[in-house]
């Protein structure tokens, strides 16, 4: 099944997409995708929706968003944009790293993306996300796959200049990733993709275009870990719950910063207002957004320096 959501008369409405992936019909109000999956036979016979003509919501109500970094090409290129001599660290190969981003900033297809306040290097990221359909705790890889309900396209919008500065503190990205995450246009259940799944990896072509010009292509099969492995790691010692989103991380060539890292120049240029960014993934559709203006930057003071004395050396037995 292929689900979408849109706002109609102030109420979120679930819809079922047609095979063309660009239109569909609405279900009765009050349903979400997980209810329809668990209660087969509910008909989507409401209003017709043309995806080109309307703004969509994220296909599900998002609980949390974990975003991984699983494409080696992107990892090296993006790191080079920060430190040209830096290669992929050994720790990257040991376990799939991720960070949490803002579920309250999730937007859908055809929505205007607000540029990050104060940023001059606004960027997109071409990704696919797995959707958790059932709660699970400390799952093995074999168990984890049963907790994935399906997949959708994810665009992890990034303010590279803001991100670059804040990551020197050692905590990872925060405001550099806080403005928006696009999801959609569809949530495609995993049974629809069994024929393109091999050894847990989805062999789906991916591409990104800006203002109609294709900048890069890749395959989702080039992930270093498959989604079951990501879910298992995310659940280690904790819960993943229905509605959680786990991003694949950016594909090879799937963001501007990677180009900047490989070639040492800001080309292609950073995004500007009114740029149109489209991410296309085979069998999942095309997710399109237009870049909008930024909110004003309200200044805050620099840190107030305080005098301090380091703690006394630890003495065993005290």
CATH code reported for the domain at 56-292: 3.90.850.10
Q: Got the DSSP string for 232-280? A: HHHTTTSEE-TT-EEE--PPTT-SHHHHHHHHSS--SPPP-TT-EEEEE
For 83-124, write each residue's pLDDT tens digit: 877 789 999 999 999 999 999 999 999 999 999 999 999 999
140 to each of 130, 234, 235, how far by Cα in Å?
Answer: 17, 11, 9
Q: Which tokens is 65 given?
A: 């968003």
Q: Which tokens is 175 given?
A: 């405001």
For 161-206, write each residue's pLDDT tens digit: 999 999 889 888 899 999 999 999 999 999 999 999 999 999 999 9
Residue with tokens 């290097």: 121
CA distance 39 to 213: 42
pTM of the predicted model, to two decimals?
0.96
CA distance 8 to 29: 9
For 241-294, write each residue's pLDDT tens digit: 999 999 999 999 999 999 999 999 999 999 999 999 999 999 999 999 999 999
Domain residue extents for the chain: 1-54, 56-292
284 DSSP assignment = T
For 57-66, write each residue's pLDDT tens digit: 999 999 999 9
246 contacts: CB under 8 Å, gap ≥ 6: 66, 67, 68, 98, 129, 130, 132, 227, 230, 231, 234, 240
């Amino acid at each position: 099944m292929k689900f979408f959501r849109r706002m109609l008369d102030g109420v979120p409405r679930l819809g079922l997409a047609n095979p063309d992936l660009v239109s569909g019909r609405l279900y009765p109000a009050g349903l979400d995708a997980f209810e329809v999956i668990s209660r087969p036979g509910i008909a989507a016979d409401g209003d017709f929706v043309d995806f080109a003509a309307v703004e969509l919501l994220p296909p599900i109500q998002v609980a949390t968003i974990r975003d991984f970094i699983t494409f080696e090409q992107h990892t090296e290129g993006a790191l080079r944009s920060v430190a040209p001599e830096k290669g992929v660290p050994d720790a990257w190969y040991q376990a799939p790293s991720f960070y949490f981003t803002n579920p309250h900033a999730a937007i859908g297809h055809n929505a205007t993306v607000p540029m990050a306040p104060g940023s001059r290097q606004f960027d997109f990221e071409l990704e696919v996300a797995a959707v958790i359909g059932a709660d699970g705790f400390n799952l093995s890889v074999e168990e984890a796959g049963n907790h994935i309900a399906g997949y959708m396209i994810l665009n992890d919008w990034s303010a590279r200049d803001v991100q670059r500065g804040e990551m020197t503190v050692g905590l990872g990205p925060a405001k550099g990733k806080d403005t928006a995450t696009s999801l959609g246009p569809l949530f495609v259940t995993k049974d629809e993709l069994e024929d393109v799944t091999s050894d847990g990896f989805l062999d789906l072509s991916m591409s990104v275009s800006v203002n109609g010009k294709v900048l890069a292509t890749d395959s989702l099969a080039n992930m270093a870990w498959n989604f079951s492995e990501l879910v298992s790691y995310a659940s280690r010692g904790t819960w993943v719950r229905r509605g959680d989103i786990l991003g694949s991380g950016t594909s090879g060539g799937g963001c501007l910063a990677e180009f900047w890292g490989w070639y040492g120049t800001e080309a292609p240029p950073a995004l500007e207002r009114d740029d149109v960014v489209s991410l296309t993934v085979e069998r999942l559709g095309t997710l399109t957004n237009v870049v909008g203006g930024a909110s004003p930057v309200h200044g805050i003071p620099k840190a107030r320096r305080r005098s301090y004395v380091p703690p006394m050396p630890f003495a065993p037995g005290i």
